[in-house]
């Protein structure tokens, strides 16, 4: 007796049970497959895979979107154009710049090597770009997604020496002092003095601004040389693109860019440390007054 159904005309799978009823010798289950061409049952039809050339534009589009996201929010490569950071960085080095931490409110710290936009008047006019419109267009697209430097953006790279609230100074041949603490700067280019040929200070750094200097002190037009411009030679933290964290190219020069230990010496944060102390005192004062008021009320009530 047949208790199942045969396959439909469209080849849908069905199960069929054959047997001789309750007294039969048993049951047998038959799985009907998808009908193939000509009505024959087959193992099932599969979609024809999309050709590589049809998928290639999609893959390129995804890669470009990912590159743009990484360049905008995570990390970006910059090329070193001058000798101002020798010997820490050489002309032609490619550094990777961390752009993520500033999104979480992190500000530049003393000793970091940072990339920042020209605050205005620090750099000369940009060199002329490609005259060929096709070449110019390609460069603009690749620079937009971070695959090559932009011919229009004006960025610099220097070391942060002092931050907002610090007092920085360098007299004679040095050393540079921050909040009265002398810096030991082994990264300075051999033969240079800490002040180079431009002593300065004492200078009080305004809030949310930084004082920057190149490691090649006698070949770096840094904060020392722009004190007559708005900001007095300091750079707004809003102009900072990010911190250079590693030399990525050439491979023979691969290295990290840590903060030198001299910026961690005791007492260098004295000026900044006074702010939390003052804030703590201001926060504790209302509590002390409130407690005193309760004690006075209790004494009056007992009387």
Q: Known catalytic residues?
A: 84, 158
Q: Distances from the Cα of 55 to the Cαs of 45, 75, 141, 237, in angstroms?
A: 22, 28, 22, 43
Q: Which two tokens mark 276?
A: 């939390």
Q: Which residues pair with 156 in a beta bridge?
A: 116
Closest by CA position to 109, among listed 71, 165, 70, 153? 165
Dihedral, CA atoms, 251, 253, 255, 261, nearest 10 degrees?
180
Burial class from Cβ neighbours inside 10 Å (0-12, 13-18, 19+) for residue 232 reads middle
Residue count of the chain, please give it: 303
CA 66 to chain centroid, in Å, comes to 15
Cα Rg of the chain (Å, integer)? 35
């Amino acid at each position: 007796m047949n208790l199942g159904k045969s396959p439909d005309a469209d080849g849908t799978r069905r199960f069929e049970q054959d047997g001789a009823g309750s007294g039969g010798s048993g049951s047998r289950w038959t799985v009907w497959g998808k009908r193939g061409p000509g009505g024959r049952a087959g193992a099932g039809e599969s979609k024809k895979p999309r050709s590589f050339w049809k998928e290639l534009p999609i893959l390129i589009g995804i890669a470009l979107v990912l590159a743009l996201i990484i360049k905008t929010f995570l990390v970006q490569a910059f090329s070193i154009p001058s000798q101002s950071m020798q010997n820490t960085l050489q002309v032609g080095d490619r550094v990777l710049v961390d752009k993520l931490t500033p999104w979480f409110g992190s500000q530049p710290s003393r000793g970091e090597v940072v990339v920042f936009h020209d605050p205005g008047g620090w750099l000369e006019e940009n060199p002329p770009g490609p005259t060929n419109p096709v070449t110019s267009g390609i460069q603009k697209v690749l620079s937009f997604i971070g695959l090559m430097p932009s011919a229009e953006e004006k960025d610099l790279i220097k070391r942060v020496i002092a931050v907002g609230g610090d007092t920085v100074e360098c007299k004679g041949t040095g050393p540079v002092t921050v909040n009265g603490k002398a810096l030991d700067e082994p990264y300075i280019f051999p033969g240079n003095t800490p002040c180079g040929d431009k002593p300065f200070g004492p200078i009080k750094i305004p809030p949310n601004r930084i004082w920057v200097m190149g490691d090649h002190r006698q070949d770096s037009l840094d904060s020392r040389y722009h004190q007559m411009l708005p900001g007095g030679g300091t750079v707004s933290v809003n102009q900072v693109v990010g911190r250079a964290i590693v030399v990525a190219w050439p491979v023979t020069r691969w290295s990290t860019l840590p903060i030198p230990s001299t910026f961690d010496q005791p007492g260098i944060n004295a000026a900044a440390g006074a702010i939390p102390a003052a804030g703590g005192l201001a926060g504790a004062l209302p509590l002390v007054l409130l407690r005193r008021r309760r004690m006075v009320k209790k004494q009056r009530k007992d009387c």
